């Protein structure tokens, strides 16, 4: 009997039935929309907190590995939470178990004891955060809180979870007013979509009422030819009914066949380009399987290590091991790689020829879409030249450019170490302050170039006169200083000072001219004359002036109650 009813009437009836069902389903759909929005926002809040906790867990692993102090790790975690709050639009906060606010986007809250803080309902909110996170996992807490946009008290839901290793509670929340607004926007969108769908259904009913069977034969014949592999031109159609759908489906299928061929060609081009990059990139690339067996390397790998692909396939990266790193180093590397999925750092490796070199290495895990381990990719480069440049820069920063001796900053650092060692071992150390006698007239009469030659030779004579492990430095001008450690008695340094006086009293041959100078030396002993670097240097300097007052060309020990007197060198 239903077959006797016209198609147009059937479609109109269907459209009206859909309108009625839309009204019934609408209420449930809007409620479901509200629940879905709430769940999505809760998940967003929870993911934000758990992202922060994941980063804290990684930092705590670095603390346990000794790569960071706990204070450094906490500072990094707080900086990350601040950055995540700015990036996400929502915000995070941290409080400890006291509870005291560790970090909050409102700076006035940081450091505040909130154990007695209550919300508008009289709840001890931060205490509740601590209590509710006492078990495993996190929880959602409903409470009232001022909306920062409107200043009005409104309902809010926060997700809070505890990071037990540091005794922190991390939280993030959402305002239900925002959720209601999003729900209203969704409801309006749903209503517009439903209305549009109804209009389309009515239009389809009218179109199908006009014609439905005439194009079917043509479509059937065309689909048959297309299935047989023939290229069939599919005419464009504006029909909105099943006939139009069939026509467009046929056009999509034809386009799919064309695109599949184009995609194959494009994929081949991408593979060729990737191989070009892989073959010509300056960094070495090594690909291993899930058991860490090498399956592919690029030409830069062969250039840096000396190993060809055939020599390393099936082997582990251990063939590059230099032996300079202990098991603890590799255990820490693999632990970080497993926890974070990547590792970056510097390592010493060995080439095929046996040469050991430093490299900058990055390792990344490769995983399949289902999460299973698929292998590792490592990229590295030889940083020998960079290390040499850094060493040259470091040497220049620590040495006098004229004489090559230690400069003042490096000497003071060495002196501080010596004082600490001598204090721990209850040993005797000495600082000798040297000031050249008669250098200024030589510099004025022969010129600064000749004066520089004298200073260079003075430096060599000082180094020759002292012991091999003594530290010699130029403080500036014609002033030098010597650090002598491990003395048995003060007479030992006196003999060294006398040797210096005799050596520097010998003439210098500068540009075929004989130049004679002398030296006055002040000696300060640790711990008798001072227990810190600054005091020892002042005492030695004062003793040097005493040596000048005694007639120059000699040395003097620091004495209690000496007064610093300037004497022209």
**Given this chain, do its domains 50-171 and 399-557 carry the same CATH topology?**
no
- The pLDDT assigned to 452 comes to 93
Identify the CATH number of the domain defined by range 399-557: 3.30.70.270
Pick the CATH number of 284-386 from 2.30.30.180, 3.50.50.60, 3.30.70.920, 3.30.450.20: 3.30.450.20
Written out in words, the top-level CATH class of the domain with range 50-171 is alpha beta
CA distance 343 to 59: 14
Q: Is the distance from CB of 543 to CB of 462 less than 8 angstroms?
A: no
- The pLDDT assigned to 544 comes to 96
pLDDT tens per residue, the chain (569 residues)? 555 655 556 666 766 776 677 666 665 766 776 778 778 878 888 888 989 899 999 999 999 999 999 999 999 999 988 888 765 456 888 999 999 999 988 888 899 999 998 888 889 989 999 988 887 788 989 888 776 667 778 788 889 999 999 999 999 877 777 666 666 776 677 677 767 766 776 666 566 555 655 666 677 777 677 667 677 777 777 777 777 777 777 777 777 766 776 777 776 777 677 677 777 788 899 999 999 999 999 999 999 999 998 999 999 999 999 888 999 999 999 999 999 999 999 999 999 999 999 999 999 999 988 888 889 999 999 888 888 888 788 888 888 989 999 999 999 999 999 999 999 988 999 999 999 999 998 888 888 899 999 999 999 999 999 998 999 999 989 999 999 998 989 899 999 999 999 999 999 998 888 999 999 999 999 999 999 999 999 999 999 999 999 988 899 999 876 544 433 44
- The pLDDT assigned to 549 comes to 92
Bin 326: left if φ > 0, else alpha if -120 < ψ < 50, else beta.
Answer: beta
Burial of 418 (0-12, 13-18, 19+ CB in 10 A): buried
CA distance 171 to 101: 11
* Local structure of residue 233 (DSSP, 8 states): P
- The pLDDT assigned to 10 comes to 63
- The pLDDT assigned to 351 comes to 92
Pick the closest to residue 519 from 465, 456, 569 (CA basis): 569
Placement of tokens 């030296």 in the chain: 519
- The pLDDT assigned to 532 comes to 93
Q: Is the distance from CB of 92 to CB of 49 less than 8 angstroms?
A: yes
Domain ranges of the chain: 50-171, 236-280, 284-386, 399-557
CA distance 48 to 43: 8
φ, ψ dihedrals at 466, nearest 5° = -95, 175
């Amino acid at each position: 009997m239903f077959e006797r009813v016209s198609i147009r009437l059937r479609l109109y009836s269907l459209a009206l039935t859909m309108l009625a069902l839309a009204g019934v389903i609408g209420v449930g759909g809007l409620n479901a929309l509200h629940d879905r929005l709430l769940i999505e926002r809760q998940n967003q809040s929870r993911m934000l907190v758990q992202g922060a906790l994941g980063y804290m867990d990684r930092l705590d692993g670095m603390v346990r590995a000794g790569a960071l102090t706990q204070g450094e790790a906490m500072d990094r975690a707080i900086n990350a939470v601040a950055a995540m709050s700015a990036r996400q639009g929502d915000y995070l906060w941290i409080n400890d178990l006291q509870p005291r606010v560790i970090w909050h986007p409102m700076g006035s809250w940081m450091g505040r004891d909130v154990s007695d803080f209550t919300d508008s309902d009289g709840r001890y909110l931060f205490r509740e955060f601590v209590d509710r996170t006492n078990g495993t996992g996190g929880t959602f807490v409903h409470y009232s809180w001022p909306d920062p946009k409107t200043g009005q008290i409104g309902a809010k839901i926060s997700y809070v979870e505890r990071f037990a290793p540091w005794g922190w509670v991390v939280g993030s929340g959402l305002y239900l007013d925002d959720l209601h607004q999003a729900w209203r926007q969704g409801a309006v969108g749903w209503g517009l979509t439903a209305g549009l769908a109804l209009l389309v259904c009515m239009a389809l009913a009218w179109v199908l009422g006009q014609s439905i069977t005439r194009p079917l034969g043509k479509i059937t014949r065309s689909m048959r030819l297309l299935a047989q592999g023939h290229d069939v031109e599919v005419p464009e159609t504006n029909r909105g009914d099943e006939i139009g759908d069939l026509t467009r489906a046929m056009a999509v299928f034809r386009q799919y066949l064309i695109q599949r061929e184009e995609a194959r060609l494009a994929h081949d081009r991408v593979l060729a380009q990737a191989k070009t990059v892989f073959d010509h990139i300056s960094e070495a690339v090594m690909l291993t399987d899930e058991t860490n067996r090498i399956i592919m390397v690029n030409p830069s790998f062969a250039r840096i290590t000396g190993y060809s692909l055939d020599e390393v396939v099936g082997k582990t990266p251990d063939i590059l091991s230099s032996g300079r790193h202990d098991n603890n180093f590799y255990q820490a590397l693999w632990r970080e790689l497993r926890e974070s999925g990547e590792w970056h750092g510097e390592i010493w490796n060995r080439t095929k020829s046996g040469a050991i070199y430093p490299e900058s290495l990055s390792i990344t895990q490769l995983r399949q879409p289902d999460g299973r381990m698929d292998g590792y990719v490592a990229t590295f480069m030889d940083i020998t030249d960079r290390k040499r440049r850094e060493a040259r820069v470091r040497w220049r920063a620590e040495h006098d450019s004229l004489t090559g001796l230690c400069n003042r900053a490096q000497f003071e650092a060495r002196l501080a170490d010596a004082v600490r060692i001598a204090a721990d071992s209850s040993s005797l150390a000495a600082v000798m302050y040297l000031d050249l006698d008669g250098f200024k007239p030589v510099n004025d009469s022969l010129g600064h170039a000749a004066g520089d030659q004298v200073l260079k030779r003075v430096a060599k004579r000082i180094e020759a006169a002292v012991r091999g492990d003594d530290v010699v430095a130029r403080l500036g001008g014609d002033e030098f200083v010597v650090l002598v450690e491990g003395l048995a008695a003060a007479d030992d340094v006196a003999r060294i000072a006398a040797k210096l006086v005799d050596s520097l009293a010998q003439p210098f041959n500068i540009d075929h001219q004989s130049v004679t100078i002398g030296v006055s030396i002040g000696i300060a002993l640790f711990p008798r004359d001072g227990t810190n670097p600054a005091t020892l240097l002042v005492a030695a300097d004062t003793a040097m002036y005493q040596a000048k007052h005694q007639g120059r060309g000699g040395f003097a020990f620091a004495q209690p109650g000496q007064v610093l007197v300037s004497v022209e060198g």
